[in-house]
DNA sequence: CGACGATTTGAAATCAGTCAAGAGCAGTGG
DNA sequence: CCACTGCTCTTGACTGATTTCAAATCGTCG
């Protein structure tokens, strides 16, 4: 049996992007009550209309937020990965207004919302970090609205591939040059507000133009900067440059 | 000279939707440092890339958030009215990731962000209320993504008209039966991700079908419930039912 | 009255959607 | 080990909602 980092360590790492934590802050985060659970593909983390009692930290795997319109169309708002506090948006408000679901098999820590709220106001550095996390989420939602509303299929698709590349890179889970993309073309369609058929054609075109190559569930990006130009991608909305340097 | 409510009263009213404030909380909010300023139509409140020092409370008039894509297309993310803290999203983060602009002539109170942050953590009830405000904003962004991504022009337009009716009603600035809509069809188009031409045709159709009637800058809604059905409108995302009753 | 921006309308073009069918791939069970 | 099954991916032909282009009308304000 070897040494193992406390389960909630990713929260510390994450919040240190936005505020300076002292030992007590870190200690308080790591000792938050929590339960670790495995979720199957497509399992719901929260359902629209729920009154969530827990917030959820992704320890491995991917999840996504989405909502379904009256005509049956589904819109995905964001993709989440290890280290994301995937349910602050819903759990802090009383009633969940959207669904969060596992995209792949997921390992997640569930933390009582009340404990998080209490901690947020007992320890302002922690609270500020959590608030920032929700604000950066909101920035991503805005960019997706722009993407879906004002960019054509090619640009839109390239934009999504760039965002994932960058976030996975930032999180230390992949690189800008390529990554495992555990989404079907139907799911990509729901994120891009395109039909799966058109996603297929668009990916094919991006491939033929030499911007990407792909296998069933992974993407290779030939030249990130070039793809970013195709995708009208500006990193600002991710607030990477606003983040603090990683502490030693 | 008659008695006048303190300028920042709308903040108190607003935050009391989400948390119980005591006299000290209210006192602290009302005595936040601030400057009141008039803004002309189209004047910027924040520009993308700015490092905002102030947050902005709308005292009268309308404002909107938007971003411009590389192809010149503009996407509006939300419309704001009296009582909205229109710039928490940008000012709490270091760098603004979108623009906020006056839609009409506006009277606004500018409050130093630092004062707000300090207050938020000195007085948890205030902090929680502010956090909720940003979370409800985020919920509105998500709904707009769904609207733009997954609904057709007719439904989408009806949805926007319903949202504005309901929020104006909630704010005590209008009613569900109709209101002043100070947006040009071009601006509506930027909110709906439609061309102004198509907005025109869509409004015309909604009128001919008897759901709305309109003059140049106002809408009358024949039957809000019916329009809500056309617009696939579910109030949940506004979290109205999660709000506390208005204190006596 | 004149001018400018906003609205309205028509006709043509286009991007993305729909429908449909075949091929590929992965997991299951005999 | 292979056949079966079900899902995902791919491609083609056709359709349609929205855009584009263009011109006329309306309203407001100096």
pLDDT in tens, B80-100: 999 999 989 888 999 999 999
**A139, A146, A160, A186: best mutation site toward chain B, by most B Cβ within 10 Å?**
A146
Strand order in the sheet with A63-68: A44-46, A99-102, A63-68, A74-80
**Residue B2 at interface with chain A, using a CB cutoff of 8 Å:** no
Kindly state the average pLDDT of the residues A215-242.
Answer: 95
SS (H, E, C) B68-105: ECCCCCEEEEEEECCCCECCHHHHHCCCCCCEEEECCC
**Residue B201 at interface with chain A, using a CB cutoff of 8 Å:** no
pLDDT in tens, B197-210: 999 999 999 999 99
**pLDDT value at residue A2:** 60
On whether the CB atoms of residues B126 and B60 are closer than 8 A, the answer is: no
**Cα end-to-end span (Å), chain B:** 26
pLDDT in tens, A53-110: 999 999 999 999 999 999 999 999 999 999 999 989 888 999 999 999 999 999 999 9
Rounded-to-integer distance, Cα A230 and Cα B223, Å: 45
User: Phi-psi region for residue B222, left (φ > 0), alpha (ψ -120 to 50) or beta?
Assistant: alpha
Picking from A199, A217, A197, A186, the residue whose alpha carbon sits closest to that of residue A152 is: A199
**pLDDT value at residue B13:** 96
Give the 3-state secondary structure of residue B38: strand
Distances (CA, A) of B33 to B8, B53, B105: 10, 13, 23
**pLDDT value at residue A207:** 96
Picking from B144, B168, B170, B171, the residue whose alpha carbon sits closest to that of residue B156 is: B144
**pLDDT value at residue A1:** 54
Predicted confidence band at B2 (pLDDT cuts at 50, 70, 90)?
low
pLDDT in tens, A197-213: 999 999 999 999 999 99
Segments of A134-240 assigned E as strands: 178-180, 212-215, 218-221
**pLDDT value at residue A217:** 86
Q: How high does pLDDT run on average in chain B?
A: 95
Give residues 140 to 169 of B whose Cβ lies within 8 Å of A.
141-146, 148-151, 155
Picking from A238, A211, A215, the residue whose alpha carbon sits closest to that of residue A227 is: A211
Q: Is the dihedral of CA A22, A25, A27, A30 positive or negative?
A: negative
Asked if the Cβ of residue A204 lies within 7 A of any atom of strand D, the reply is yes
Res. B165: pLDDT tops 60: yes
């Amino acid at each position: 049996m070897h040494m193992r980092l406390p389960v909630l360590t990713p929260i510390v790492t994450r919040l240190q992007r936005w505020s300076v934590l002292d030992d007590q802050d870190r200690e308080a985060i790591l000792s938050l009550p929590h339960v670790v659970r495995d979720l199957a593909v497509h399992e719901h983390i929260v359902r629209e209309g729920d009154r969530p009692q827990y917030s959820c930290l992704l320890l491995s795997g991917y999840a996504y937020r989405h909502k379904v319109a009256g005509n049956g169309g589904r819109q995905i708002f964001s993709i989440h990965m290890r280290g994301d506090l995937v349910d602050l948006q819903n759990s802090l408000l009383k009633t969940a207004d959207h669904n969060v679901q596992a995209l792949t098999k997921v390992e997640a820590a569930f933390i009582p919302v009340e404990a998080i709220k209490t901690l947020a106001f007992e320890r302002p550095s922690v609270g500020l970090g959590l608030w920032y996390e929700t604000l950066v989420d909101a920035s991503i939602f805005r960019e997706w609205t722009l993407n879906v509303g004002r960019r054509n299929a090619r640009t839109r698709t390239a934009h999504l591939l760039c965002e994932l590349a960058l976030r996975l890179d930032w999180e230390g889970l992949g690189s800008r040059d390529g990554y495992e993309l555990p989404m079907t073309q139907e799911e990509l369609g729901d994120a891009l507000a395109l039909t799966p058929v058109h996603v297929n054609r668009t990916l094919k075109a991006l491939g033929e133009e030499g911007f990407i190559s792909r296998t069933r569930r992974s993407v290779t990006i030939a030249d990130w900067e070039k793809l970013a130009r195709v995708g009208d991608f500006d990193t600002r909305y991710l607030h990477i440059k606003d983040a603090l340097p990683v502490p030693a």
